[in-house]
Amino acid sequence: MSQKTMRDAINEALHQAMEQDESVFVIGEDVAGCNGSAGDVGAVGGVFGVTTGIYHRWPDRCIDTPISESAIVGAAAGAALVGMRPVAEIMFADFIGVCMDQIVNQMAKFRYMFGGKSRCPAVIRFSAGGGFSAAGQHSQAMYQVMTSFPGLKVVVPSNAYDAKGLLLTAIADDDPVLFFEPKILYQETCEVPDDPYTIPFGEANFVREGDDVTVVAFGQMVPKAAAAIDELAEEGISCDLIDPRTTSPLDEGAILESVAATGRLVVVDEAPPRCGLTADIAALAADKAFASLKGPIKQVCAPHSPTPFSPELEAAYLPDGNKIKAAIKATMG
Amino acid sequence: MSIPSETLSNAYRLMKTIREFEERVNAEIMNGQIPGFTHLYTGQEANAVGVCAHLDASDTIISTHRGHGHCIAKGADVSGMMKELFGSSEGLCKGKGGSMHVADIDKGILGANGIVAGGPPISVGSALAAKIRKNGKVAVSFSGDGSVNQGTCFEAMNMAVVLEVPAVFVIENNYYSEHTNISYAVGCDDLKARTEAFGFPVFVADGADFFAVYEAAGKAIDHARAGHGPAGVFAEQGRYHGHFVGDPQHYRGEGELDDLRENHDCLKNFRARMAETNELDAATLDAIDADVMAEIEQAVVDAKAAARPTAAQVTEDVYINYGAGA
Ligand SMILES: Cc1ncc(C[n+]2csc(CCOP(=O)(O)OP(=O)(O)O)c2C)c(N)n1
Ligand SMILES: [Mg+2]
Please give the pLDDT value at position B2. Answer: 87
Q: Which residue of A has its CA nearest to B94?
A: A310
In order of start, what are the domains of chain B with their CATH numbers?
5-307 (3.40.50.970)
Average per-residue pLDDT in chain B? 97
What secondary structure letter does DSSP report for B253?
Answer: P
Please give the pLDDT value at position A333. Answer: 84
B282 residue type, one letter: A
Asked if residue B115 has its Cβ within 6 Å of ligand 1, the reply is: yes
What CA–CA distance (Å, rounded) separates B67 from B74? Answer: 11
Answer for the pair B15, B69: CB distance below 8 angstroms, yes or no: no
pLDDT at B184 over 80: yes
Please give the pLDDT value at position B322. Answer: 82
Q: What global pTM score does this model have?
A: 0.98
Q: Which ligand is nearest to the CA of B66?
A: 1
Asked if residue B137 has its Cβ within 6 Å of ligand 1, the reply is: no
Nearest to A36 among B37, B115, B183 (CB): B183
Residues (pLDDT < 70) of chain A are: none
Dihedral angle, C-alpha A129, A131, A134, A139, nearest 10 °: 10
- Higher-scoring residue by pLDDT: B321, B58: B58
pLDDT at B325 over 70: no
The percent helix, strand, coil of chain A (3-state, each to 5) is: 40, 20, 40
Answer for the pair A167, A177: CB distance below 8 angstroms, yes or no: no
Question: Residue A196: exposed, middle, or buried by beta-carbon count in 10 A (0-12, 13-18, 19+)?
Answer: middle
Q: Is A56 one of the annotated active-site residues of the chain? A: no
Kind of pairing, strands A213-217 and A205-208? unpaired
What CA–CA distance (Å, rounded) separates B249 from B178? Answer: 9
B107: left (phi over 0), alpha (psi -120 to 50) or beta: alpha
A155 residue type, one letter: V
A322 residue type, one letter: N
Q: Do B151 and A95 make contact, defined as CB atoms within 8 angstroms?
A: no
Residue with CA nearest ligand 1 atom 21: B144
Chain A environment of B100 (Cβ under 8 Å)? 134-135, 137-138
In order of start, what are the domains of chain A with their CATH numbers?
2-192 (3.40.50.970), 205-331 (3.40.50.920)
What CA–CA distance (Å, rounded) separates A89 from A110? Answer: 21
Q: Report residue B1's pLDDT band, with 50, 70 and 90 as the boundaries.
A: low
Answer for the pair A14, A167: CB distance below 8 angstroms, yes or no: yes
pLDDT at B274 over 90: yes
Residue by residue, DSSP assigns A270-323 as SS-STTSHHHHHHHHHHHHSGGG--S--EEE---SSPPPSSHHHHHHHS--HHH
Residue by residue, DSSP assigns B1-44 as ----HHHHHHHHHHHHHHHHHHHHHHHHHHTT-S-S-----TT-
What CA–CA distance (Å, rounded) separates B167 from B140? Answer: 6
Mean pLDDT along residues B188-211: 98
Residue by residue, DSSP assigns B63-117 as --SS-HHHHHHTT--HHHHHHHHHT-TTSTTTTSS-GGG--BGGGTB----SSTT
What secondary structure letter does DSSP report for B201?
Answer: -
pLDDT at B187 over 70: yes
pLDDT at B247 over 80: yes
